């Protein structure tokens, strides 16, 4: 899914022109991280964050992106994470992007609508697969962490998208490397149930400066969503 391909679609589909201020707090992103299973130490431990050349513990990129969960169904989404966001930062949410002062920290696009119904086979060769089962309390904590009050959806799409983070983390551990999320996309192909989801990681290209990975969210009915991730490796 190309960022540029969906620019015009985004302008028609995600019609939220209001500017919203968000005060980022570690307490909130820790609630989010615990709800989705993201144990990346750069979000929790100062020493690990500084080893990754960050000033301090940093908010998860997908925690910021999760704030775009709304009442309408999301069919496709993608986000480029440009700059780190720290505890106490105030960021401005404009359409599908975030700014800190005049700096763009997260550039996004969202296409609203029902699943695409595209049939995607799971490749025979994958690098890593991770099972996840969400409980009602975890979904509630996820929604509370982003201050989303509506409960119309029992399976929020941004929660599904966020499950890529712990899968990527475990994949990285298997390769004895760590990294920082740089890009994430998702296409919802079928309706899904968060209580029984697996995330498979495929290797597109692995380099010292950038790792490109394919993502497949699966359930008993096969692949329910596909996407891509780009990770800036800390060590490789």
Quick: pLDDT tens for 158-209: 999 999 988 998 888 887 777 778 999 999 999 999 988 999 999 898 887 8
Give the bridge partners for 199, in sequence order: 130, 217
The C-alpha atoms of residue 217 and residue 153 are separated, in whole angstroms, by: 19
pLDDT, position 121: 95
Number of domains in the chain: 1
The DSSP 8-state label assigned to residue 155 in this structure reads S
What per-residue confidence (pLDDT) applies to 235?
A: 55
Contact, 63 vs 145, CB < 8 A? yes
Q: How far apart are CA 207 and CA 189, in angstroms?
A: 29
State residue 15's pLDDT score.
46
Mean pLDDT, residues 101-115 taken together: 95
- Mean pLDDT for 93-100 is 92
pLDDT at 142: 95
| CA 130 – CA 101 distance, rounded (Å) | 37
Looking at residue 230, its pLDDT comes to 93
Region at 185 (left for phi over 0; alpha for psi -120 to 50; beta for the rest): beta
HSE (side-chain half, CA atoms, 13 Å) at 141: 16
- Per-residue pLDDT at 18 exceeds 60: no
Q: Is the Cβ–Cβ distance between 3 and 102 less than 8 Å?
A: no
Q: What is the CATH number of the domain that holds 164?
A: 3.10.129.10
On average, the pLDDT of the chain sits at 87
The size of the chain, in residues, is 236
* CB 78, CB 105: distance < 8 Å: no
Helices (H), 70-229: 136-145, 157-162, 164-174
Q: How much is the pTM?
A: 0.88
Range name among 94-98, 211-215, 220-224, 232-236 with the lowest pLDDT average = 232-236
Per-residue pLDDT at 227: 97
Q: Is the dihedral of CA 44, 230, 90, 49 positive or negative?
A: positive
Task: Give me the domain span that covers residue 68.
Answer: 4-235
- State the Cα–Cα distance between residues 91 and 64, nearest whole angstrom: 10
Per-residue pLDDT tens for 195-226?
Answer: 889 999 998 988 878 889 999 999 987 999 99
3, pLDDT greater than 50:
no
Confidence bin at 13 (pLDDT 50/70/90) = very low
């Amino acid at each position: 899914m190309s960022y540029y391909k969906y620019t015009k679609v985004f302008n028609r589909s995600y019609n939220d022109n209001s500017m919203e201020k968000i005060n980022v707090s570690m307490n909130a992103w820790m609630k989010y991280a615990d709800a989705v299973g993201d144990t990346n130490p750069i979000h929790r431990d100062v020493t690990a964050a500084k080893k990754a050349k960050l000033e301090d513990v940093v908010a998860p990129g997908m925690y910021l992106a999760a704030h775009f969960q709304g009442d309408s169904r999301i069919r496709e989404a993608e986000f480029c994470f440009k700059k780190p966001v720290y505890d106490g930062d105030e960021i401005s949410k404009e359409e599908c992007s975030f700014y800190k002062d005049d700096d763009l920290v997260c550039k996004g696009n969202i296409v609203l609508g029902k699943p695409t119904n595209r049939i995607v086979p799971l490749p025979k060769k994958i690098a890593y697969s991770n099972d996840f089962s969400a409980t009602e309390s975890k979904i509630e904590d996820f929604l509370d962490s982003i201050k989303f009050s509506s409960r119309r959806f029992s399976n929020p799409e941004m929660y599904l998208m966020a499950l890529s983070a712990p899968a990527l983390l475990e994949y990285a551990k298997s390769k004895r490397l760590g990294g920082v999320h740089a890009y994430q996309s998702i296409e919802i192909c079928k309706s899904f149930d968060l209580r029984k989801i697996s995330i498979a990681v495929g290797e597109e290209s692995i380099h010292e400066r950038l790792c490109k990975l394919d993502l497949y969210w699966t359930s008993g009915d096969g692949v329910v969503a596909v996407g891509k991730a780009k990770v800036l490796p800390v060590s490789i």
